[in-house]
Amino acid sequence: MTHKHAVLALALALAGLAAGALPARAADTYPSKPITLIIGFAPGGPTDAIGRVLFKRVSEELKTPIVIENRPGAGGNIGTQDLVRAKPDGYTLLYGTSSLTTAPALFNRVDLDPTKAFDVASCSVAVPMILLVSKKNTADSPQALYQAMKADPTRFFLGSSGNGSVDHLVAMDVAARLGLTFQHVPYKGNGPALTDLAAGNVNFMYSGSFNSAMPFIQNGQVRALAVTSDHRSSALPKVPSLSESVPELKGFDAATAQVLAAPKGTPPAILARLDQAIQIAIKDPKVKESLDFQGAEPMNLSPAQCKAHIADEFKRWTGTIERLGLKAQ
């Protein structure tokens, strides 16, 4: 090798080392500018409400502004699309729900596979559904409701926040396990379904929004029969879980995970810093009080456990969707 070639080789090697050091250096100074946080649902919904409380505190911990942008549509896919196209530098993030694990199958979007399309930074909290009935419904327990449904399925109408929504999938999963049939009435969101339930236009629903459901429960317009996590919720301590109420559903657990995602290739050090900030925020007494009211419980998962949880949920709900032949409409 000539002296000229040796100098060139050394220069290229140093350039490579410098390039490799850039992500590490960026992670060391992260964050150094405002962060955009995408929420793939409209303002006022459960994901938005929880996200705003949580990331106000995360912003304080990171000492940088976090700008929340609601980009609803296509079951959350609009926001997810924007995330996967973003630069993997930690300055564009997505706060999503279990819809991240259902939307690919419902919309035939294999490009949004949550095990491949983006990086998972943190599993923050999980929120169960509440099995609600209208005040016109005489059932006082899940067992009574399901028995009445089996006796005369033509009388029962399920309200949901949309065809293929997580609450619809939970209802269909329970129905498949128990051999139930009913008429499905999809709405454009949890709010309209809840309003019609209170009016008695539908018989029952599985609401994923404690924030919206609690006023209806407290004023007696609807009754809470159960929660869909495998244990009782601190927000509704007198309401049993489906797991403890229905023998055929023992061990049943369907709580919606709230997940922070980042573009694929985001430096691990940045993902770790984000998870650390979220775990600190969740333990803040004021944040915890608000999360408790909304039925949100810390998941207490490491980033690796969080990634595994998302993969498990993706497998579970993809199987349910394919088995039931569901597609988004």
Whether the per-residue pLDDT at 154 is higher than 90: the answer is: yes
Task: List Cβ neighbours of 107 (8 Å cut-off, separation of 6 or more).
Answer: 74, 75, 77, 328
Q: How confident is the model at residue 324 (pLDDT cuts 50, 70, 90)?
A: confident
Tell me the two tokens of residue 94: 């997505």
- Cα separation, 296 vs 184, whole angstroms: 27
- Cα separation, 272 vs 119, whole angstroms: 11
pLDDT, mean of residues 138-145: 96
Whether the per-residue pLDDT at 115 is higher than 70: the answer is: yes
Whether the per-residue pLDDT at 14 is higher than 70: the answer is: no
- pLDDT tens, 272-316? 999 999 999 999 999 999 999 999 999 999 989 999 999 999 999
Nearest in space to 23 (alpha carbons), one of 256, 268, 197: 268
User: What's the pLDDT at 22?
Assistant: 47
User: What's the pLDDT at 197?
Assistant: 98
Average pLDDT of the residues of the chain: 91
Beta bridge partners of 68: 37
Q: How confident is the model at residue 148 (pLDDT cuts 50, 70, 90)?
A: very high
- pLDDT tens, 73-99? 888 899 999 999 999 999 999 999 988
Instruction: Work out the percent of the chain whose per-residue pLDDT is above 70.
Output: 91
Nearest in space to 92 (alpha carbons), one of 30, 134, 12, 173: 30
User: What's the pLDDT at 16?
Assistant: 55
Q: The whole model's pTM is what?
A: 0.86
- pLDDT tens, 32-87? 999 999 999 888 888 999 999 999 999 999 999 999 999 988 888 999 999 999 99
| Torsion of the alpha carbons at 185, 186, 190 and 196, rounded to the nearest 10 | -30
Asked if the 130-249 domain carries CATH number 3.20.20.70, the reply is: no
The answer to whether 30-127+256-324 and 130-249 have equal CATH topology is yes
Tell me the two tokens of residue 202: 């539908």
Classify domain 30-127+256-324 at the CATH class level: alpha beta
State the residue for tokens 């797991």. Answer: 243
Whether the per-residue pLDDT at 191 is higher than 80: the answer is: yes
User: What's the pLDDT at 327?
Assistant: 79
The arrangement of strands across the sheet holding 66-70 comes to: 66-70, 35-39, 92-96, 255-263, 118-128, 297-298
Nearest in space to 205 (alpha carbons), one of 240, 181, 170, 229: 170
Whether the per-residue pLDDT at 30 is higher than 90: the answer is: yes
* Every domain of the chain and the residues it spans: 30-127+256-324, 130-249
User: What's the pLDDT at 329?
Assistant: 62
Whether the per-residue pLDDT at 136 is higher than 50: the answer is: yes
Tell me the two tokens of residue 217: 């429960």
Whether the per-residue pLDDT at 183 is higher than 80: the answer is: yes
User: What's the pLDDT at 13?
Assistant: 53
Tell me the two tokens of residue 121: 């930074």
- pLDDT tens, 203-222? 999 999 998 999 999 999 99
